[in-house]
Structures are given as structure tokens and as C-alpha cells.
Structure 1
Amino acid sequence: MTDNNEVFRFTDGPASYDTGEVFFARLDPLISNTDELLKSLYYLLWFPGYFGFNWNALEDCLRDFDWINEEKIIIVHDVLPNISRNDLKIYLEILRDTVLDWYGYEQHTLEVVFQEKDRDYITNILLS
């Protein structure tokens, strides 16, 4: 499962889930820089206080989730964060790698959702 289209879920319109059964995080569509993205993820995903607000810390926390009881964790992007292309590539690579890392584990599964209209752009960024 290395095709980005298989790793991420793409949807037309808003994604919705039964929040009683999953841990659901919808990113703010107005995120305009990397610091805002990391802060938003910190609060949405209840990261521990030691979170370092950098890419390595994000990757570490996305591979843990020991503090979340629900098995399925979903991160929804109604729009892509408005961050530099380089930072967006790093972010997408971290999401892709951590989704793949959770396959086969029973404790958690991570699902990352984007809009269908962003599929080609995401694929191009990850292939660049």
C-alpha cells in the first residue's frame, strides 16, 4: 500500500463520523502558517504537554496516541493548510508514514481525510 491515493481518504464535501465511536479532529481551514498548524494539531489531538511544536515531535506523537481511548483516530482537512510547499510536503510525508505505521496494529488506526479536489495536488507534492 504505497500509493498515496490508498493511504489517504478523499471525499467530496464535508466528512462526518459518529464521534461517539472515533476520535475526530477537523483542522481549521484558516491555518496560514506552520506554527498555527502544529498548535492546532496539539489541541485537536490532545498531544502531551511535552510536545515540541516541530516536525519530529509531530511524527512522534502521531505514532503514539497512548492518551486516546478510541481505536480509530481521524484527521479531516476540508482545505489544505496554507503553508509553504516545502512544509506541506513534510507534513504530508509525516501523515502518510504514520498512517502506514498504524496498519496492522490493534490499538489504533489513523485515517487522514482530504478533499477529492486536492488529490492530484497532494500526489504531485509527494512525488516531487
Structure 2
Amino acid sequence: MYRVDLAKVTDKEGFLEAISKAMDFPDWFGHNWDALADCLTDLSWMGADGYVIILDHADGFAQASPTDFATALSVLQDASDTWREDGVPLWTLVGTASDGLDWLQDIE
């Protein structure tokens, strides 16, 4: 399980930094969406039977940069789909304030 604190994240760069630190990405991580996808679909440096990624305090990032937030969720979903094909669960949980859930319904 990996907890990614997004309390101070407002943009793509901040998100990529936060997730790379929380998940201890390798030095070759390129801090872009493609590199994130590569790391999330590899995970060879942390072999496990399954993975849970918790995005804590996601409200600020989602509101400050909705396009980047949607892209991040899309990359995470694609990684989850890839792992599912191999029978390995990868779950992403999005933590928000209880009154801040409406925007999640708008993400496609």
C-alpha cells in the first residue's frame, strides 16, 4: 500500500513528484505521463501480490488542475487494467473531503 499525500499538489509536476517519492520510483523515472505509465506497469522493484495506491487530499489538485488530475487518473486506470490482465490487483483510492465528491462524477 502506498499513500500519496496531495495536500500541497496543484499541478502535474507536483503530482509526479509526490507519487514518485511515495512509491519510491527508480532513478530512471522521467517525470512525465509516459514515465509514470512505465513505472506503474513495471513495479519490478517492489514485487507484490497486489497494490493499493491512496491519493490523499486529492481535492486541491483536482480543483487547481482538473485536466492534469483527469490524466493522472487515466494513467492509473490504464495501469490497473494492464495488471488485471495478469491477475494482479492494482487499486487506486481517491481521498477527498466528504463534501468534495461531486467533481469525481464529472471525470470521464
Under TM normalisation by the shorter chain, which class is it?
Answer: 0.7 to 0.9
Per the alignment, residue 114 of structure 1 pairs with 94
Aligned-residue offset at 1:33 = 2.2
CA contact (8 A) 2:50 2:89 kept: yes
TM-score (norm 2): 0.80
Between the two structures, name the one with larger relative contact order (CA 8 Å, sep ≥ 6): 1
Question: Does the CA contact (< 8 Å) of 2:11 and 2:68 recur in 1?
Answer: no
C-alpha distance in 2, partners of 1:120/1:103?
A: 28
Report how many aligned residue pairs link the two structures.
102
| 1:120 CA drift (Å) | 4.5
User: What's 2:13 paired with?
Assistant: 35
1:12 match? none
Task: Measure how far apart 1:119 and its partner are.
Answer: 5.3
Q: Which runs of 5+ in 1 are unaligned?
A: 1-23
2:49 to 71, 74, 86: 71
Partners of 2:95 and 2:31 in 1: CA distance? 26
Amino acid in the other structure paired with 1:110: L
Alpha-carbon separation, structure 2, partners of 1:101 and 1:88: 20
Q: Distance in 2 between matches of 1:77 and 1:115?
A: 6
Percent of pairs with identical residues: 26
Following TM superposition, the consecutive aligned residue runs of length 4 or more in structure 1 with deviations greater than 6 angstroms are none
Unaligned runs of 5+ in 2: none
Bigger helix share: 2
